[in-house]
């Protein structure tokens, strides 16, 4: 073993007659002994008074922190094993030894904190709280805290997803692991990985899907469907019918400012999400995204590179002379067909709000002019214009963006003005 100041401190405590008798703490040792860097040994101090110290360790450093804790309290240790032995029992880790010595504050306060949070019965938030406690509170026994609150944290897996207790545990551990990973840690850092069993064949749900299925829906949005007026109700029913019957359809909601479009979107989002389905609310600008619950810009949500290697995915499309931004993915300009990947099977709905450069004049009396247009009203141009490599079977229809406001007068389509409607992928185009 390499000779370090610490190992030589142990050696002195075990072999040096005076040190044996003095039984000093590590931090006080330099007050009586001098470290000789050449010979890497301690010698008795003859002159010069010094104040002893010990290097700082942060609780986040784990075992290093607990070792420092033991060294600061146990006089005259002769080895690592000596430090870890409490009343005849030798513990496997410095942390366990520190707990046995009573040097660590009990995890009581963390337990109380979790107990208080359990009252709200929000498993997702509880998992986040548990991970925060793990990472920042230097728990003495993470396993104990996990076992105590496992059922509360896994409540949604058992009651909503109807998973068995063991699969729910694995799911919970996977979820905690990905939460910890976002904080730069993993289950392994907290001695929880032994609870994971490799034998269970259960696909972990990715974090994005978990986040989307755990969105909190406000009471107000849940109640809004009962307040919809006639036009809103027609749109609401037809859109939800397409979603829940898994039909691939596109819808275009149009109306002057203040006529209740956003109100309708919120009602639809609440209805889809309350069924534990995924509705992605995207817009092309932060401002437009911020008015939707859990809205995000399309380029952030779909990781669309705006200045990616020479190719600009976010293309501009004109609708009635107004500029729209196209969204690559399920809503795909035909020019990007070569780039289309298999749609993610976890996505039930793609919600796209197309932002226009100029707004129609605001209308004081709201909810007067919502128009609802079904994709089937559009003329689909010949499929011959699709590249031969594209899986034609996936294409339900093609709509020209310029046709949305004039669907009865289709002109010869310009390929870059078209969007593809993929089968099994209902989506909405909202303006």
Contact positions vs ligand ATP (CB under 6 A)? 227-229, 232, 255, 257-263, 366-367
Nearest CB to ligand ATP, comparing residues 12 and 292: 292
Instruction: In whole angstroms, give the CA distance from residue 418 to residue 278.
Output: 26
* Contact in structure between 30 and 52 (CB atoms under 8 Å): yes
Smallest separation (angstroms) from ligand ATP to the CB of 147: 46
Nearest CB to ligand ATP, comparing residues 153 and 367: 367
Smallest separation (angstroms) from ligand ATP to the CB of 260: 3
Instruction: In whole angstroms, give the CA distance from residue 106 to residue 137.
Output: 11
**Nearest-CB residue for ligand ATP:** 260
Nearest CB to ligand ATP, comparing residues 187 and 228: 228
Smallest separation (angstroms) from ligand ATP to the CB of 333: 25
Helix (H, G, I), strand (E, B) or coil at 75: coil
Helix (H, G, I), strand (E, B) or coil at 128: helix
Tokens at residue 241, please? 């019918």
Check the CA dihedral 19-20-26-27 and report its sign.
negative
Nearest CB to ligand ATP, comparing residues 8 and 259: 259
Instruction: In whole angstroms, give the CA distance from residue 129 to residue 122.
Output: 11
Nearest CB to ligand ATP, comparing residues 68 and 261: 261
Instruction: In whole angstroms, give the CA distance from residue 71 to residue 3.
Output: 17
Smallest separation (angstroms) from ligand ATP to the CB of 250: 19
Q: Work out the angle between the directed axes of helices 108-118 and 142-153 (0-180°, nearest 10).
A: 0
Nearest CB to ligand ATP, comparing residues 263 and 302: 263
Tokens at residue 117, please? 């949070």
Instruction: In whole angstroms, give the CA distance from residue 71 to residue 56.
Output: 12
> In DSSP terms, which residues pair with 351 in a beta bridge?
281, 428
Smallest separation (angstroms) from ligand ATP to the CB of 363: 9
Smallest separation (angstroms) from ligand ATP to the CB of 283: 11
């Amino acid at each position: 073993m390499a000779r370090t100041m610490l190992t030589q401190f142990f050696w002195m405590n075990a072999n040096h007659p005076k040190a044996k008798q003095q039984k000093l703490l590590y931090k006080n040792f330099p007050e009586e002994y001098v470290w000789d860097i050449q010979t890497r040994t301690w010698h008795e101090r003859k002159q010069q008074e010094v104040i002893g110290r010990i290097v700082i360790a942060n609780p986040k450093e784990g075992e290093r922190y607990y070792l420092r804790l033991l060294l600061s309290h146990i006089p005259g240790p002769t080895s690592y094993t000596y430090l870890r032995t409490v009343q005849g029992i030798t513990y496997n880790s410095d942390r366990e030894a520190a707990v046995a010595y009573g040097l660590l504050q009990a995890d009581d306060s963390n337990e109380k904190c979790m107990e208080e949070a359990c009252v709200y019965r929000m498993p997702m938030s509880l998992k986040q709280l548990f991970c925060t406690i793990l990472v920042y509170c230097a728990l003495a026994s993470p396993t104990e805290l996990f076992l105590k609150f496992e059922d509360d944290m896994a409540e949604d897996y058992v009651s909503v997803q109807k998973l068995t207790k063991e699969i729910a545990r694995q799911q919970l551990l996977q979820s905690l692991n990905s939460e910890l990973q976002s904080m730069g840690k993993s289950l392994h850092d907290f001695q929880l990985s032994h609870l994971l069993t490799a034998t269970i064949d259960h696909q972990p749900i990715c974090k994005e899907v978990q986040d989307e299925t755990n969105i909190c829906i406000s009471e107000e949005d849940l109640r809004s469907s009962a307040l919809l007026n006639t036009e809103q109700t027609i749109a609401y029913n037809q859109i939800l019918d397409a979603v829940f019957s898994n039909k691939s359809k596109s819808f275009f909601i149009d109306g002057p400012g203040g006529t209740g479009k956003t109100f309708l979107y919120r009602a639809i989002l609440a209805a889809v999400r309350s069924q534990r389905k995924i509705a992605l609310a995207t817009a092309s600008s932060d401002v437009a995204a911020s008015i939707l619950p859990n809205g995000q810009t399309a380029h952030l949500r779909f990781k669309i590179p705006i200045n990616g290697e020479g190719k600009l995915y976010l293309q501009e499309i004109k609708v009635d002379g107004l500029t729209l931004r196209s969204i690559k993915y399920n809503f795909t300009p035909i020019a990007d067909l070569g780039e289309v990947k298999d749609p993610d099977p976890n996505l039930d709905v793609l919600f796209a709000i197309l932002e226009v450069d100029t707004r129609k004049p605001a209308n004081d009396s709201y909810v007067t002019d919502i128009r609802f247009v079904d994709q089937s009203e559009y003329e689909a141009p010949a499929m011959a214009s699709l590249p031969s490599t594209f899986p034609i079977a996936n294409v339900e229809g093609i709509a020209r963006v310029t046709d949305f406001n004039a669907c009865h007068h289709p002109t010869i389509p310009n390929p870059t003005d078209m969007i593809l409607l993929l089968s099994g992928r209902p989506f909405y185009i909202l303006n």
